[in-house]
Amino acid sequence: MNSTPPCLFTLLDRTLELHRWPLDQKNRTLQAWDSSDEYLINHVEEANLVNPNSRILLINDSFGALSCWFAGHNPVSVVDSFIAHQAALHNIENNGLTISKAQQLGSMDDLPNDIDLVLLKLPKNNGYLEFMLGQLSQCLKPGTQIIAAGKTTDIHNSTSALFER
């Protein structure tokens, strides 16, 4: 039984109960999603970028908001944080959703080559971003869209230059 207070993420007439991990944090006022999650979801849904067969790759899904939202597509999630993996698994299960555990990868794992859409939450570290973009360039088929979002304070000219390369 979960004794943590409900933290409801409501967007586009849909509601998910999302929790930060670990559940016994002292500061329970922090939510398990951010404006980047909202932006990515809104953009994908409004532009109708996915269909039932779309393969989605999620990079840096901190607490599983994107994994939960796109669970019907069995997204592949790449994140190097054990806590982020556990939060995603908890939130997926807590919302009655299912995703294969094998779909959770670390940045050193081989990325799938059958991806139709990449949703990337920008890391604070440009070195990590450069590494991930290099990995993507090796495995994605031509025309695969990469949509990135992050805090404006973390986006610099160097960030744009990495994407251009």
Q: What is the pLDDT of residues 3-52, one digit of tens each?
A: 555 689 999 999 999 998 878 777 666 789 999 999 999 999 999 999 98
Alpha carbon distance 87, 89 (integer Å): 5
Q: What is the pTM of this model?
A: 0.89
Position with higher pLDDT, 162 vs 52: 52
Alpha carbon distance 29, 72 (integer Å): 29
Q: Is the dihedral of CA 41, 9, 106, 94 positive or negative?
A: negative
Give residue 1's pLDDT: 46
Strands 8-11 and 14-17 turn out to be: antiparallel
